[in-house]
Structure 1
Amino acid sequence: MSAQPLIELIGVTKTYGQGATALQALKGVDLTIEAGDFVAIMGPSGSGKSTAMNTLGCLDTPTTGQYIFNGVHVETLTRDQRALLRRHYLGFVFQGFNLLARTTAQENVELPLLYRGEPTKTRHAAAKKALASVGLAGWEHHTPAELSGGQQQRVAIARAIVTEPTVLLADEPTGNLDTHRSREIMELLWGLNVDHGITVLMVTHEADMAAYAKRIVHFVDGVVDSDTRNPNPAGLAQHATDKAAEVSDVA
């Protein structure tokens, strides 16, 4: 018998408003995501991809249907219970970096742990480790104004993974970056997925960024129009090259 999927959406609908003004954003979505997958979610404006991402992130609830996360029926949870699920299992990265302007990179990364009530020493150590894992060792005391766009997004990713989430949800994570920085961020997400086992769900409208994913799901008119495996993710060759270089450096 196969293991239970990490995430299942079964017949999920989402309707905003009532009566003649009602808008059905999702019209019966079925989607299964295995632990350790890297899924790019694509689709035109109004296709339902953002609503699906909000549902997966427990930021919104289905009108009908089931959302099962690691065996738990999320649609039956209270607001507080969904908040706990987000806090302990999910990390979020957005197109806008959403960093606090007057605080350092370290302080920004520590925020989720502060909300958890973790002691100062634990917060400091975890934030430093998270920043190092995204290539920002030595940048802990710089404010966002002292960082490039790519570095700010790395801080945002460090903040998302400092709690060691099961799933990382990234909404247009390269939307504000140039091509070179976008590739850096995608290679970073690939490494978090492959080396750390974090399941990555990413909304993007850029085909060259979606090419890094192991799987590409297209939404059209509130339903999943296609769901295909990517046999040759863009991050695969670069990651292998980077790993070979690391081994060579050690040798």
Structure 2
Amino acid sequence: MADNPLPLIQLRNVTKVYGEGATQFQALKGIDLDITAGDFVAVMGPSGSGKSTTMNILGCLDVPSSGEFLFNGFHVEQLGRDQRALMRRKYLGFVFQGFNLLARTSALENVELPLVYRGDPKAQRRDAAMAALAKVGLDKWWDHTPAELSGGQQQRVAIARAIVTNPAVLLADEPTGNLDSERSVEIMELLTDLNRTSNITVLMVTHEPDMAEFARTLVHFKDGLIERIEQNDKVPA
């Protein structure tokens, strides 16, 4: 029998401390977590539990105070700021609760932005952005600005922008937080489809148990520690 491949992401005894002296706060108290390539993970827990700090570390937006963070076996915690920025650009996509779209810019131009930063040629950027919009069902809305789109459509544009670089990992921070229940389900179904058809690993922070039900793995945080990890039997492996 072949050995199981290494997890895509490994956290080993990761801690995070903010401040010094009397103001010191330990946000993470020693986190161990393995994430398999292609998984859909929901990260849950009350405010201050450490889930957002963990996601910032996984997104290369912050660094551990101690411990190891391995991505494909590579020690990310040893990277400098510029190297972490390159890693974000190459391997990671981000979706936020507030969409973060440029107001006076078309859907197509919003989706092209990561490719502009990467220096891709104009024609190549346009083709890739149109393909990403097609994946989220908005290729016919390419010339509309955010003001001309519903909240659900805006979040679809934001997801297209996140996947246009073909990232290995999509990090979603409360992606349905600004949407009504019907639009929320649409966005979760879209993330599930991208996870399955494009094999994108999805890491999602959510406060909503019904949204977490779309994930295969549920990670519960409490007081700077992982309280428990469970597999969602309702979702096919």
Match of 1:38 in 2: 40
CA separation in 2, counterparts of 1:27 and 1:58?
A: 19
1:6 pairs, out of 5, 8, 18, with 8
CA separation in 2, counterparts of 1:184 and 1:223?
A: 32
Deviation at 1:229, TM superposition (A): 0.3
SS in 2 for 1:107: helix
Identity %: 69
Match of 1:170 in 2: 172
Moved over 3 A (4+): none
The residue type paired with residue 53 of structure 2 is T
SS in 1 for 2:125: helix
| Number of corresponding residues | 234
2:150 pairs, out of 140, 144, 148, with 148
What do you get for the CA RMSD once the two structures are aligned?
0.6
CA separation in 2, counterparts of 1:216 and 1:164?
A: 24
2:195 is the alignment partner of 1:193: yes
Q: Give the TM-score normalised by the residue count of structure 2.
A: 0.98
- Counterparts of 1:125-136 in structure 2, within 5 Å, are 125-136=127-138
- Counterparts of 1:62-211 in structure 2, within 5 Å, are 62-211=64-213
CA separation in 1, counterparts of 2:148 and 2:99?
A: 14
CA separation in 1, counterparts of 2:177 and 2:4?
A: 37
CA separation in 1, counterparts of 2:27 and 2:74?
A: 24
The residue type paired with residue 44 of structure 1 is P
SS in 2 for 1:157: helix
The residue type paired with residue 102 of structure 2 is L
Match of 1:246 in 2: none
Deviation at 1:187, TM superposition (A): 0.1
Q: Give the TM-score normalised by the residue count of structure 1.
A: 0.93
Deviation at 1:184, TM superposition (A): 0.1
The residue type paired with residue 65 of structure 1 is G
Residues 33-60 of structure 1, C-alpha deviations (whole Å, 9 max, x = no match): 0000000000001000000000000000
Deviation at 1:71, TM superposition (A): 1.1
SS in 2 for 1:200: strand
CA separation in 1, counterparts of 2:84 and 2:145?
A: 32
SS in 2 for 1:114: helix
Unaligned runs of 5+ in 1: 237-251
Match of 1:240 in 2: none
Deviation at 1:137, TM superposition (A): 1.6
